[in-house]
Chain A
Amino acid sequence: MALRVLGLTAPSKKPQPWWWGVVALLALFVFTIPLYLDVAELYSISNFLVLAILALSMSFLWGYGGMLSFGQTAFFGLGGYTYAVLALNTGETTSALLIAVLLPMIFAAILGYFMIYGRISDIYFSVITLVVTLILEKGIRATSGDQYVIGSVRLNGQNGIPTTPSLQLPWDAKAQLDIADVFYVAAGLLFVTYIGLRLLLLTRFGRILVSIKENERRSELLGYDTRRYKWLAFVIAGGIAGLAGAMWGIWGNFVGPNMFNLNQAAQVVIWVIVGGKSTLIGPIGGTVAVQYLTDWLGTQGVGQVSLILGIILMVMVLLFQQGLLPSAGIIAAFAKDRLGLTRRGRAS
């Protein structure tokens, strides 16, 4: 509904030429940002871009797979730690980044097998994914002793790994990427992930996944093994979250147990809710808006960020079901209707 009001098409539709135009323009805009912003601003925007990748993983799984995973931070953290440990051990970052995507996928495959093939209900799925990330956090926090070493890297418990290296050029280990380079990589990966998911939803797999969200029983009766599709979606989303985690480590030269924690997990949900889960682009906007707000609140010294996040979450759920952007569209349509400005002609 809300999509129609805004004049957008559902992502399961073939993108119109103008969509490619808009994406190209956006890319052009984003890639020229470093020309007129200073390094500090660039640094904080890179953070938004990386977190937007995490939001995409959640939004794909929830908005199109119908699975509300509260534990995408589990894969986020796992990706970050995998990257940090491998890069520090081998001194080589490209393969570390790749494995930081693969390992969370394997973890998601195992966890997803038990949950999805066990046919646990949606609610249990949400709660268990949340519990998994909380317990991983506790596990990492408990690794402060000297005995917790992987290769030559100490896990450091609470303190995380503050020596996480930046990305190197694959062909030249000496060429470490600087802040502007990391910005380009983060923006590039965000665009690739967004376009990739958008195109994935057009494939047979994507359409069947959406059909399962619409009516799982019908898909089963038609002969689709719905568990397999949901499981695959869960694995893909795990990989994307892992990528975001590794990029976050690269961005801040740091990974820590907070990547897994409840606040982080809540933020992912809030980004997607604020942006609306019926599109992929919405959550990207939601991420930037909410992160900008929390950063700003932090600098204003208003105290507890979680207090504000909590209020946002409650208000969003109780008052704005569709997400801010689509809600605004509905209100606008209502206002137009009231003022008699609607053009006649739409069949529905």
Chain B
Amino acid sequence: MDEVAIYAFQIGFAFAILILISLGLAVIFGMMRVINLAQGEFLMLGAYFCTLITQSGVNLWLAFLLSGLAVGVFGIIVEVVIIRWLYGRILDTLLATWGLSLFLVGGVTTLFGPQSESVAAPLGRFSVGVYGISQYSLVVIAVALALLAGTYALWRYTRFGLVVRGTMQNPTMAAGLGIRTWLVYMLTFGFGSALTGLAGAVLAPIVGAAPPMGVFFIGKAFITVIAGGQMPLLGTISASGLFGTIDGVVSYISSSVVGEMGMLFVAIILLRLLPLGITGRLKRGI
């Protein structure tokens, strides 16, 4: 029984991590079709903001929000300086954001040094039979679900969400209707960045903050969003579910590296069978 519970927990946790690291990418890449290779570094910035803010004595939960906000603002700056000039030039966007990614890794290393900064994980542990589980990992799962629900609600039920979806579908038409599409793009990019920053902050108590941490997550995030296919949110959820299960189980049996290789292997086979991703055949939805 404990065995089952611990597997369920492993899978749930892996699922939550995948959701956290890919949700911002699902907005930026999945919806806006902007390939942001610096996505992992946005995550890293979130983690750094979180350590800096908590070190200055601010409450951790508030630090999460502030970090998200800070990375959101940073994302808006990036959109204005780089991304805006490259819409429609997908490969160039990819190369420029790759440059940004290297720049951020180098910059953060110069400012804070290569060592890892840590944030004390709050809350204690509880046990399931012989296994110990930190309560904070339950928080991670809860935050992931909350962000997912929040993003869905924002897209589905608000005027802003409608405007964004309309603009992404047909920018010319949206512009014709008097929507300031440049503003929509800017804000959407900012929103995706903020989600990523918040995710980085939430991860900070688990993995700390270090310059190369982005690279650690970027691969997983892209596999998840690509395999998810055309519908950014539903696709990300289903791919996270699938890969979370593989990652959780394989990592538990073997090691996390093998888990990740398993994910990649399944993703490549999946793309051979469903080139448009899991939700590629569905017609409507987000």
Physical interaction between A and B:
yes
Q: Which of B86, B215, B261, B264 is the one whose CB lies under 8 Å from A262?
A: B215
Is A332 an interface residue when CB atoms closer than 8 A count as contact? no
Q: Which residues of B lie under 8 Å from residue A261 when comparing CB positions?
A: 215
Tell whether, in the assembled complex, residue A304 and residue B219 are in contact, meaning their CB atoms are under 8 Å apart.
Answer: no
Tell whether, in the assembled complex, residue A305 and residue B106 are in contact, meaning their CB atoms are under 8 Å apart.
Answer: yes
Q: Which residues of B lie under 8 Å from residue A315 when comparing CB positions?
A: 99
Tell whether, in the assembled complex, residue A124 and residue B272 are in contact, meaning their CB atoms are under 8 Å apart.
Answer: no
Tell me how far the C-beta of A290 lies from the nearest C-beta in chain B, rounded to whole angstroms: 13
Interface size of B by CB at 8 A reads 42
Tell me how far the C-beta of A108 lies from the nearest C-beta in chain B, rounded to whole angstroms: 13
Is B104 an interface residue when CB atoms closer than 8 A count as contact? yes
Evaluate whether A309 and B102 lie within 8 angstroms (CB atoms) in the complex, with A131-B222, A273-B95 already known. yes
Interface size of A by CB at 8 A reads 46
Tell whether, in the assembled complex, residue A118 and residue B85 are in contact, meaning their CB atoms are under 8 Å apart.
Answer: no
Q: Which of B82, B105, B215, B255 is the one whose CB lies under 8 Å from A314?
A: B82
Tell whether, in the assembled complex, residue B257 and residue A131 are in contact, meaning their CB atoms are under 8 Å apart.
Answer: no
Q: Which residues of B lie under 8 Å from residue A307 when comparing CB positions?
A: 102-103, 105-107, 109-110
Evaluate whether A318 and B96 lie within 8 angstroms (CB atoms) in the complex, with A115-B268, A311-B103 already known. yes
Q: Is the interface of B mostly helix, strand, loop or mixed?
A: helix
Q: How far is the CA of A315 from the CA of B100 in the complex (A)?
A: 10
Q: Which of A115, A314, A318 is the one whose CB lies under 8 Å from B271?
A: A115
A68 — nearest CB in chain B belongs to which residue? B91
Q: Which residues of A lie under 8 Å from residue B215 when comparing CB positions?
A: 134, 261-262
Tell whether, in the assembled complex, residue B99 and residue A310 are in contact, meaning their CB atoms are under 8 Å apart.
Answer: yes
Tell me how far the C-beta of A316 lies from the nearest C-beta in chain B, rounded to whole angstroms: 8
Q: Which residues of B lie under 8 Å from residue A117 when comparing CB positions?
A: 272
Q: How far is the CA of A142 from the CA of B261 in the complex (A)?
A: 12
Is A13 an interface residue when CB atoms closer than 8 A count as contact? no
Tell whether, in the assembled complex, residue B101 and residue A310 are in contact, meaning their CB atoms are under 8 Å apart.
Answer: yes
Is A317 an interface residue when CB atoms closer than 8 A count as contact? yes
- Residues of A101-145 at the interface with B, using a CB-CB cut-off of 8 Å, are 111, 114-115, 117-120, 122-124, 126-128, 130-132, 134-135, 138-139, 141-142
Is A266 an interface residue when CB atoms closer than 8 A count as contact? yes
Tell whether, in the assembled complex, residue B257 and residue A142 are in contact, meaning their CB atoms are under 8 Å apart.
Answer: yes
Tell me how far the C-beta of A238 lies from the nearest C-beta in chain B, rounded to whole angstroms: 16
Tell me how far the C-beta of B139 lies from the nearest C-beta in chain A, rounded to whole angstroms: 27
Is A37 an interface residue when CB atoms closer than 8 A count as contact? no
Is B226 an interface residue when CB atoms closer than 8 A count as contact? yes
Is A303 an interface residue when CB atoms closer than 8 A count as contact? yes
Is A306 an interface residue when CB atoms closer than 8 A count as contact? yes
Q: Which one of B105, B219, B269, B271 has the highest number of Cβ atoms from chain A below 10 Å of its Cβ?
A: B219
Tell whether, in the assembled complex, residue A310 and residue B261 are in contact, meaning their CB atoms are under 8 Å apart.
Answer: no
Is A312 an interface residue when CB atoms closer than 8 A count as contact? yes
Is A263 an interface residue when CB atoms closer than 8 A count as contact? yes
Q: Which of B95, B107, B222, B260 is the one whose CB lies under 8 Å from A313?
A: B95
Q: Which residues of B lie under 8 Å from residue A27 when comparing CB positions?
A: none
Map CB proximity to A onto B211-231 as digits: 1 under 8 Å, 0 otherwise.
000011011001100100000
Is A235 an interface residue when CB atoms closer than 8 A count as contact? no
Q: Which of A118, A131, A141 is the one whose CB lies under 8 Å from B272?
A: A118
Is B90 an interface residue when CB atoms closer than 8 A count as contact? yes
Is A308 an interface residue when CB atoms closer than 8 A count as contact? yes
Q: Which 4 A-B pairs have the closest CB atoms?
A: A307-B106, A310-B103, A313-B99, A310-B102
* 10 cross-chain CB contacts under 8 A: A68-B91, A124-B271, A128-B226, A131-B219, A138-B257, A269-B95, A304-B105, A308-B106, A314-B99, A318-B85
Spell out B's residues near A (CB within 8 Å): 35, 37, 82, 85-86, 90-92, 94-96, 98-107, 109-110, 215-216, 218-219, 222-223, 226, 255, 257, 260-261, 264, 267-269, 271-273, 275
